[in-house]
């Protein structure tokens, strides 16, 4: 079954598996409830080279609405396809496709341990800007 909803939204790469990692906190005064990132096993940067990637999504700044989680996670779906497309859409990528390679996962682990620690201390901030890091060129496009 095609998860992208329409062939127009299918990205230039193949996603074999997906998962999510996240932190949920009590809602703050701005409606922030934490962060969710997607984990995709795909050939997102080089055709035929499969690895795990961390990424995240957000509502486009052109859309007058918010989400409780910044960024949010998507499994492969139409909304994710829209974010990955070359069009201006409701969704966009908020965290670059960041490889998580066995033996080189220290950055991933340290980042999430810091966020978990901040959340445990009641100090997990809402990202001050989105996207959180430049996403330009982090995934393969048509």
Cα–Cα nearest to 25, from 33, 17, 37? 33
Residue 84 domain-assigned (yes or no):
yes
8 Å CB contact between 100 and 83: no
Phi, psi of 74 (to 5 degrees): -130, 140
- Print the domain residue range for 12: 7-120
As a whole number of angstroms, the distance between CA 132 and CA 142 comes to 24
Domain count, the chain: 1
Residue 24 domain-assigned (yes or no):
yes
Q: Which pLDDT score, from 0 to 100, does residue 8 have?
A: 86
Those residues of the chain that have pLDDT short of 50 are: none
8 Å CB contact between 43 and 50: yes
Q: Which pLDDT score, from 0 to 100, does residue 7 have?
A: 85
């Amino acid at each position: 079954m095609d998860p992208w909803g329409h062939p127009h939204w299918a990205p230039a790469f193949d996603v074999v598996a997906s998962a999510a990692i996240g932190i949920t906190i009590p809602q703050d005064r701005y409606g922030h409830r934490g962060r969710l990132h997607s984990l995709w096993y795909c050939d997102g940067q080089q055709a035929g080279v499969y690895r795990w990637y961390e990424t995240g999504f957000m509502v486009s700044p052109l859309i007058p609405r918010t989400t409780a989680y910044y960024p949010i996670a998507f499994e492969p779906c139409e909304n994710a396809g829209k974010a990955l497309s070359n069009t201006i859409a409701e969704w966009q990528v908020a965290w670059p496709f960041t490889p998580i390679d066995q033996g080189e996962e220290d950055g991933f682990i340290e980042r999430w341990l810091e966020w978990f620690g901040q959340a445990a201390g009641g100090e997990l901030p809402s990202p001050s800007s989105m996207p959180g890091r430049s996403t330009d060129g982090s995934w393969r496009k048509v």
